[in-house]
Amino acid sequence: MSRRIIIASVVTGVIVVGAAAGGFAFARHNEQIRLDKDSRTAADRFAAGWSQRDVLKMAYAGRTPDQVAASFKTTTAGLGSGPVKVTVTSFVRDGDRATGKLSVAWTVAEGSTWAYTMPISLQRNDAELWDVVARDGATMWAPNVGAKAKLVAARTWGKRGEVLGRDGSPIMAVGKVYDVAIDPARASADTVTALEKVVNEPDGYLVAKLNAAKTSGSKAPIPVVAYRETAFKAHEAQLFALIGVIYPPRIQPLAPSSTFARPLLGSYGAATAETIKNGKGRYVAGDYVGLSGLQGQYDATLGGTPGVRVTASDKPDVPLFEKAAVDGAPMTLTLDSKTQSAAEAALAGSGTVPSALVAVDVATGDLLAVANSPAVGMNRALLSSYAPGSTLKVATTYSLLTKGLLPSKPVLCPPTVVVDGLTMRNYEHETLGLVPFSVDFAHSCNTAFVGLAATMGDADVHDAAVALGVGAGWGKHLGIAGTFGGSVPVATSKTERAATAFGQAKTSVSPASLAVMVASVARGSYIEPALISAPAVAGADRTPKPLDAKAIGELQSLMRLVVTNGTAKGVFNSVPGGPVYGKTGTAEYGTDDPPATHAWFVGWQGTVAFAVLVEQGRSGATDAAPIAKTFLENLHR
């Protein structure tokens, strides 16, 4: 009996002990599960906080060790504000410690992601919470980087594409410039005063900028001027002697001169806040980009695709990540450097009065020159809108000739004509009487055209202008944003029809549109003009559209008569290179009495057609025709 009790007690004992042990094992198992869960939650929380750039969320229950919080912003600020995604990819806990792997993906530039794996270590603290622990001598934010190093994602750019002329030679090639600037931390007022004399700035202008920088505590360089290499060499010794004046070199696209085709080709410089805002992530502060004109519009073509390089401050020459930049592509224009230079030199004759000259190759319709004065500013040659005045009589006359008008037909040219109560007059009230139409055209008699307009349809001048290229829609295909190809609306009244006939009413043109018009007359067909030959501009139809051969022949003779016997008589007598054909124009605008005027001359010689505008010019014969003469003389030098 006693033996059974011992066995039973043993058994009981065994049973009792087994139950206690089972309860302890179950509790221990639950504890391990809790520790695994808590440590993994802390790791996940850390990854989520990193993804959100929120250091307060980078440890369980908001506890972040000082070394974690202190290093995150300073170490990673140089990577930019792009998205970052961090996830825990593996995790193991061993007692009060846990380790794992993080998958990190930084968007360090538009379309560029730096992906890498980073170890993570955690330790349970006295409060039984899990802290992320930094490794001694290393950062937590990137592999193989020191604890105090800073990460930097720097933009890189490839070679910028050149702008080539019609012969394939560069008219805008990449060259070296020196950005002269003031270092406010080192420069003195005396130094900057001396600099003002070197760079021809007004007395006190740069000193005021220096004082403002010192007052605000700014350490940023104060830009002064950018010199091309030749100009820099001429000033180098003077600049070298000035303490606190710096001149770091860089490269940028350069035309033959700082003013060569500037309104067309545009400018290049540091990206502005507006450029960055409108760039859809393409630009960041510190980039140099095309800012205006062709350089601005085609920056994505010429500039290529930026790359990015990530480095650490302790090893700046060793890339941690690199995506190579893609070089820009060249552009080829139809411009001819000699013709462009001849046009710009001719416009110097207009002085300070704004002016423009566009030249067209008669054979092809290509634009050979797009010149503007002032040399820096608005691209009047392509983008402006002016009344054409008597130059539009070319289109009116083409319409009349196609409908049977003979140049020899007598047409009355009185000093004034009244149409529906509106008095229309000739320039300076001249009168020719009853003379052949050829004389009316050569001497640009407005009232003769008013009389003939009574026999025309409301759409006749509109249709003729479009046939010659004015308002024909080519402005959309030239490749320069905002190009104005002209507009000659269909007349809606007798007075509009009469005024449209001599280029007033609601008619408007650019110098380019009139150059296209006279090139059509010289050629005998309309060809849509071109400026960019590569890359190809979509939408253009450059198939020649033949014009009425008989009418064109008569119109050519009439335009020759303008130069030999009419309003431009004597202007082109000494110009080499063959006969000149043309038409003067004086266009009224504004509400002054008498109205202010713009001056025009359009024409061609040989294979070059052209249009000249002089704003506020007294007349086409006195102001615009002499510039056209100088242009042709320059071409033959």
Query: Tens digits of per-residue pLDDT, 509-566?
Result: 999 999 999 999 999 999 999 999 999 999 999 999 999 999 999 999 999 999 999 9
Of the listed ranges 69-78, 161-170, 373-382, 553-562, the least confidently predicted one is 69-78
Q: Which amino acid is at 312?
A: A
Q: Which amino acid is at 472?
A: A
Nearest to 371 by CA among 630, 99, 74, 63: 630
CA distance 372 to 221: 34
> What does the pLDDT read at residue 284?
86
**pLDDT greater at residue 69 or residue 380:** 380
Mean pLDDT to the nearest integer, 279-283:
87
> What does the pLDDT read at residue 329?
97
Do 302 and 343 fall within a single domain? no
What is the C-alpha radius of gyration for the chain, rounded to an integer number of angstroms? 39
The tokens describing 173, both together, are 């090639």
CA 562 to chain centroid, in Å, comes to: 41
| Residues facing 156 on adjacent strands | 307
> What does the pLDDT read at residue 134?
78
pLDDT tens digits for range 162-218: 999 999 999 999 999 999 999 999 999 999 999 999 999 999 999 999 999 999 999
Classify residue 508 by its DSSP letter: B
Question: Which of 89, 113, 143 marks a domain boundary?
Answer: 143
CA distance 207 to 225: 15
CA distances from 628 to 262, 358, 484 (A): 21, 10, 22
Q: Is residue 121 part of a domain?
A: yes
| Residues facing 98 on adjacent strands | 93, 122
CA distance 472 to 403: 21
Q: 198: Cβ–Cβ under 8 A, 6 or more apart, which residues? A: 235, 238, 239, 242
Do 83 and 135 fall within a single domain? yes
Do 117 and 169 fall within a single domain? no
Return phi, psi of residue 288, to 5°. Answer: -110, 130
Nearest to 471 by CA among 507, 497, 505: 507
* Percent of the chain scoring above 90 in pLDDT: 83
Do 257 and 228 fall within a single domain? yes
**Residue 46 is inside which H or E element, if any?**
helix 2-51
433: exposed, middle or buried (C-beta count within 10 Å: 0-12, 13-18, 19+)? exposed
Helix, strand, or coil (residue 499) = helix
Centre a 10 Å sphere on the Cβ of residue 251 and count the other Cβ atoms it contains. 13
Q: Is residue 156 part of a domain?
A: no
CA distance 236 to 222: 18
Do 415 and 550 fall within a single domain? yes
Phi-psi region of 364 (alpha: psi -120 to 50; beta: other; left: phi over 0): alpha
> What does the pLDDT read at residue 282?
87
Q: Provide the whole-model pTM.
A: 0.86
Question: Which of 143, 175, 195 marks a domain boundary?
Answer: 143
Give 429-498 as a 3 state SS string: HCCCEEEEHHHHHHCCCHHHHHHHHCCCCCCHHHHHHHHHCCCCCHHHCCCCCCCCCCECCCCCCHHHHH
CATH code of 198's domain = 3.90.1310
Do 227 and 111 fall within a single domain? no
Do 407 and 517 fall within a single domain? yes
Do 270 and 202 fall within a single domain? yes
Do 578 and 608 fall within a single domain? yes
Mean pLDDT to the nearest integer, 232-237:
97
CATH code of 94's domain = 3.10.450
Q: Which domain does 111 fall in, by range?
A: 2-143
Q: Is residue 331 part of a domain?
A: no
* Confidence label for 126 from pLDDT (cuts 50, 70 and 90): confident
Answer whether residue 9 shows pLDDT above 60: no
Do 424 and 558 fall within a single domain? yes
Of the CA atoms within 13 Å of residue 369, those in its CB half-sphere come to 28
* Confidence label for 4 from pLDDT (cuts 50, 70 and 90): very low
Answer whether residue 93 shows pLDDT above 60: yes
Q: Is residue 323 part of a domain?
A: no
CA distance 103 to 88: 6
CA distance 154 to 500: 59
To the nearest whole number, what is the mean pLDDT of the chain? 92
Q: Is residue 360 part of a domain?
A: yes
Do 597 and 525 fall within a single domain? yes
Q: Note whether 508 and 487 are within 8 A (CB).
A: yes
pLDDT tens digits for range 205-218: 999 999 999 999 99
CA distance 632 to 351: 18
Do 343 and 300 fall within a single domain? no
Q: Is residue 254 part of a domain?
A: yes
**Residue 371 is inside which H or E element, if any?**
strand 367-373
**Residue 195 is inside which H or E element, if any?**
helix 189-198
Count of residues making up the chain: 637
Answer whether residue 74 shows pLDDT above 90: no
Query: Furthest-apart CA pair in the chain: how many Å?
Result: 159
Mean pLDDT to the nearest integer, 317-321:
95
Answer whether residue 1 shows pLDDT above 80: no
pLDDT tens digits for range 477-510: 999 999 999 999 999 999 999 999 999 999 999 9
Mean pLDDT to the nearest integer, 135-147:
85
Question: Which of 143, 178, 193 marks a domain boundary?
Answer: 143
- The number of distinct structural domains making up the chain is 3
Residue with tokens 């608005």: 378
CATH code of 561's domain = 3.40.710.10
Q: Is residue 324 part of a domain?
A: no
Mean pLDDT to the nearest integer, 136-152:
88
Residue with tokens 């043109």: 509
pLDDT tens digits for range 252-277: 999 999 999 999 999 999 999 999 99
* Confidence label for 14 from pLDDT (cuts 50, 70 and 90): very low
Q: Is residue 320 part of a domain?
A: no
| Residues facing 195 on adjacent strands | none
